[in-house]
Amino acid sequence: MTIEQEIKRHEKEVMASVSKRYAACCRRCKGNEGFQRHEIRRRTFYCQLKNGQPGAVRSWLVRWKCLNCTCTFTDYPPFALPYKRHIKPAIFEMVMKMCRDQKATYRSSTNGRAGHSSLWRWFDWLSSLFVQGQACARFILSADPNSLLHRNDYFVPPYKSRSKSRATVLTIGFQVLDRFMAFERFVAENFPQVRNTASPTGDAILQSDNISHTRSTLACTFLAFPRHPH
Ligand SMILES: [Zn+2]
């Protein structure tokens, strides 16, 4: 299924009022039952279309109300990130290209799919999640002592930035994203049922380093890409 088809399927489900809730639990009280669809909100997603060209697909995000604590929250499908119009896989791919491809520049990494300033901002966003990246690494290393994650090299050539502070942002952003992706792979491989039920809604989750969580708690607490602080 292409990403465009995935977005369309999501839209169909929302319009048919059978939208599934991706978040496994309430972000405030962590309860996992008793939810009511609260409202739906328009959202444009920038992604690659069927013809291979970059484009925009209009769809919806659903807001749910927890009947236990009355908190309302936006539910993000797996391809979306809070406050980002570009889909998650595309953002990750462009950031990784900038880091791993020796010749890549801000402009060539996005290749017309996004403004080069967007890439600049995504690095700022990722580097602001340094603590969560560390929590991902801690989780993986405690659960799998043979993991080589801590040996990954996050060097970004100095010619990719004009200042030392920018070089630091690139390096930290690279490290955070690599750890997030390693974490997603780890959870998908070891807790396959989590992938379909978790969503990027929890802030606190990645700060947990208790690996004895039950599977349902994992669904609530991991795979979470925290909100952008701004
Ligand atoms: Zn609640």
Domain boundaries, the chain: 3-75, 88-219
How far, in Å, from the CA of 72 to the mean position of ligand 1?
Answer: 8
How far, in Å, from the CA of 148 to the mean position of ligand 1?
Answer: 38
Q: What pLDDT, on a 0 to 100 scale, did the predictor assign at position 192?
A: 63
How far, in Å, from the CA of 71 to the mean position of ligand 1?
Answer: 5
How far, in Å, from the CA of 176 to the mean position of ligand 1?
Answer: 29
- The residue whose two tokens read 């809730």 is 21
Q: Comparing C-alpha atoms, which of 109, 27, 111 is closest to residue 72?
A: 27
How far, in Å, from the CA of 35 to the mean position of ligand 1?
Answer: 9
How far, in Å, from the CA of 140 to the mean position of ligand 1?
Answer: 28
Question: Please, are residues 197 and 219 in contact by the beta-carbon 8 Å criterion?
Answer: yes
Q: What pLDDT, on a 0 to 100 scale, did the predictor assign at position 28?
A: 80
How far, in Å, from the CA of 34 to the mean position of ligand 1?
Answer: 9
Q: Comparing C-alpha atoms, which of 130, 127, 141 is closest to residue 169?
A: 127
Handedness of CA 121, 207, 139, 167 (dihedral sign): positive
Q: What pLDDT, on a 0 to 100 scale, did the predictor assign at position 19?
A: 63
Q: What pLDDT, on a 0 to 100 scale, did the predictor assign at position 72?
A: 93
Q: What is the full per-residue pLDDT of the chain (230 aa) written as tens digits? A: 888 888 998 888 888 876 678 877 787 887 878 999 999 999 999 998 888 888 899 999 999 999 999 999 888 888 888 888 999 989 999 999 999 999 999 889 998 888 889 999 999 999 998 888 888 888 888 888 888 888 889 989 889 998 999 999 999 999 999 998 888 888 778 766 554 433 333 333 333 333 333 333 443 444 444 444 33
Cα distance between residue 54 and residue 206, in whole Å: 32
Question: Please, are residues 176 and 126 in contact by the beta-carbon 8 Å criterion?
Answer: yes
Q: What pLDDT, on a 0 to 100 scale, did the predictor assign at position 228?
A: 40
How far, in Å, from the CA of 82 to the mean position of ligand 1?
Answer: 19
Tell whether pTM > 0.85: no
Q: What pLDDT, on a 0 to 100 scale, did the predictor assign at position 63?
A: 92
How far, in Å, from the CA of 69 to the mean position of ligand 1?
Answer: 4
Question: Please, are residues 23 and 68 in contact by the beta-carbon 8 Å criterion?
Answer: no
How far, in Å, from the CA of 182 to the mean position of ligand 1?
Answer: 29
Q: What pLDDT, on a 0 to 100 scale, did the predictor assign at position 193?
A: 56
Task: Spell out a b/e string for 130-139, using b for 16 or more CB atoms within 10 Å of the CB, else e.
Answer: eebbbbbbbb
